[in-house]
């Protein structure tokens, strides 16, 4: 009776919230794929004509509970080059790739990932498998980030800057998870649209965040 205890509780998304979130993902991603289908087709043709290589870039990423899935993007780099985050005037990026990256067109195939259920519209960015292992060793609390399905956008992409540390981005992701609500998702989607049309370092930060 003289022993102290510490109790810690964390937020979990409810069954009803999961249903609504999934319905939003399906509806918006399906509509986005239909609306952008001409852009998707033209982009695929341009990539193929540019160097004759593969149209899509595929990579294994981690989502909720560490589940592994294959993420899809339009290929913006030359084939058979070392894969690491793009920095400055990277010579690995093709001429058409620079255009696709500038206007975030290379991210459009991820709506297919969202439609399939691999990702959500809003959530922590899906990390490369090697990053999950490294970050978990460096920051044990990183595993709590995997409580939520990976997303296309979120706090870390909207608020984060180039100099935002991995630790601070993790805190932003955990803040989203702990304060989750459907209205918050809607708010973040509108904020993402505003960021994409704002020529500032916030836009650059979004591109850097989705590159990783």
Do 78 and 92 form a contact (C-beta atoms < 8 A)?
yes
For residue 15, give the H/E element and its range.
helix 15-35
For residue 124, what are the contacts with CB-CB under 8 A and spacing of at least 6? Answer: 145, 146, 148, 150, 151, 154, 156, 173, 176, 177
Q: Token pair for residue 70? A: 């294959």
Each residue's pLDDT tens digit, 49-70 = 998 899 999 999 999 999 999 9
Output the pTM of the full model: 0.84
Each residue's pLDDT tens digit, 140-172 = 889 889 889 999 999 888 887 656 788 888 999
Mean pLDDT of 113-138: 92
């Amino acid at each position: 009776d003289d022993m102290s205890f510490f109790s810690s509780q964390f937020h979990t998304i409810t069954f009803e919230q999961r249903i609504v979130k999934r319905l939003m993902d399906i509806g918006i991603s399906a509509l986005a794929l239909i609306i952008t289908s001409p852009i998707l087709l033209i982009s695929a043709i341009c990539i193929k004509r540019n160097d004759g290589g593969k149209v899509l870039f595929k990579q294994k990423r981690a989502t909720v509970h560490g589940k592994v899935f294959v993420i899809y993007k339009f290929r913006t780099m030359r084939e058979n080059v070392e894969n690491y985050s793009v920095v400055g005037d990277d010579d690995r990026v093709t001429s058409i790739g620079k255009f696709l990256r500038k206007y975030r067109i290379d991210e459009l195939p991820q709506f297919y990932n969202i439609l399939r259920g691999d990702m959500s519209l809003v959530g922590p960015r899906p990390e490369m498998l090697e990053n999950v292992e490294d970050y978990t060793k460096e920051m044990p609390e990183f595993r709590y980030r995997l409580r939520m399905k990976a997303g296309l956008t979120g706090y870390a992409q909207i608020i984060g800057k180039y100099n935002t540390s991995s630790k601070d981005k993790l805190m932003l992701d955990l803040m989203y998870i702990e304060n989750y609500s459907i209205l918050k998702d809607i708010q973040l989607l509108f904020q993402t649209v505003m960021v994409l049309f704002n020529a500032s370092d916030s836009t650059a930060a979004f591109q850097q965040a989705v590159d990783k």
